[in-house]
């Protein structure tokens, strides 16, 4: 199966009870079975565009969401991973979706699991793609095969004193994503396996990922999960 990146999304924003707004993008078959897609890190809801063709063929209504602080979704200083389920439920109510599946891509995996735990009567299926499980300290695990960016992030995340350092590095990450988006995606294609490289370079996922990165840092008031 090949992904069709050319699907033009229907999009909108949902006003939440606390005054925030949460952005959504719809791909696939509008009358199909609803699946909420949770993007990776960094990323945005338009990342779901890569699945438009497959979703259309399979009869799936694929709905990508911008998490708080990304793209067109308001930042939430008090956010938690479990609290994401409340945001998703608000979007589901606004879009008149009674039951739905969730798909967490990479950094979106914990958010899919949060919905499964908090919304068992609404979530029918939970899918994880390239999710990251608990990471033990020390060598010998999967960290040696990860990128330097990911290894550094995991190392700092384990240190309570490192919060300010992560915050200080956020503008640099945003600058790279804005100014060197194509180079970032080309680097990912260079270091990943042959099937992923084919998806990025041949099947149209690369341009979608570029769009997702740019959308992630589009807001002038952008404050991401790095904080």
What pTM, to 2 d.p., does this model score?
A: 0.83
Q: Give all domains of the chain, ordered by start, each with its CATH number.
A: 10-216 (3.40.50.1820)
Spell out the per-residue pLDDT of the chain, length 227, in tens.
Answer: 334 445 566 899 999 999 999 999 999 999 999 999 999 988 899 999 989 999 999 999 999 999 999 999 999 988 999 999 999 999 999 999 999 999 999 999 999 999 999 999 999 999 999 887 666 665 555 566 677 777 777 777 777 787 777 777 777 778 877 888 888 888 888 878 888 888 888 778 888 888 888 888 876 444 444 44
DSSP string, the chain: ----TTPPPEEEEEE-TTS-EEEEEEEE-TTSEEEEEE--SS--GGGGGGGHHHHHHHTEEEEEEPPTTSTTSPP-TT--TTTHHHHHHHHHHHTT-SSEEEEEEGGGHHHHHHHHHH-TTTEEEEEEES------SSSSSSGGGS-HHHHHHHHHHT-GGGHHHHHHHHHHHHHHHHHSHHHHHHHHHHHS-HHHHHHHHTSSHHHHHHHHHHHHT--TT---TT-
DSSP 180-206: SHHHHHHHHHHHS-HHHHHHHHTSSHH
């Amino acid at each position: 199966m090949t992904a069709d990146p050319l699907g033009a999304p229907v999009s909108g924003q949902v006003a939440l009870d606390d005054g925030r707004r949460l952005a959504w993008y719809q791909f696939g078959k509008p009358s199909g079975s609803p699946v909420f897609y949770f993007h990776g890190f960094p990323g945005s809801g338009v990342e779901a565009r890569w699945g438009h063709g497959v979703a259309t063929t399979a009869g799936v209504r694929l709905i990508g969401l911008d998490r708080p602080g990304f793209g067109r979704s308001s930042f939430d200083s008090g956010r938690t991973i479990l609290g994401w389920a409340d945001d998703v439920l608000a979007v589901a109510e606004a879009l008149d979706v009674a039951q739905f599946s969730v798909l967490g891509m990479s950094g979106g995996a914990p958010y899919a699991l949060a919905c499964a735990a908090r919304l068992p009567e609404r979530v029918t299926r939970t899918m994880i793609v390239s999710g990251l499980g608990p990471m033990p300290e020390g060598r010998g695990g999967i960290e040696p095969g990860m990128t330097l960016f990911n290894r550094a992030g995991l190392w700092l995340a384990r240190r309570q004193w490192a919060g300010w350092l992560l915050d200080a590095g956020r503008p640099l990450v945003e600058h790279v994503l804005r100014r060197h988006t194509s180079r970032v995606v080309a680097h990912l294609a260079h270091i990943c396996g042959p099937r992923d490289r084919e998806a990025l370079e041949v099947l149209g996922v690369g341009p979608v990922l570029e769009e997702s990165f740019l959308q992630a840092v589009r807001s002038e008031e952008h404050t991401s999960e790095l904080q």
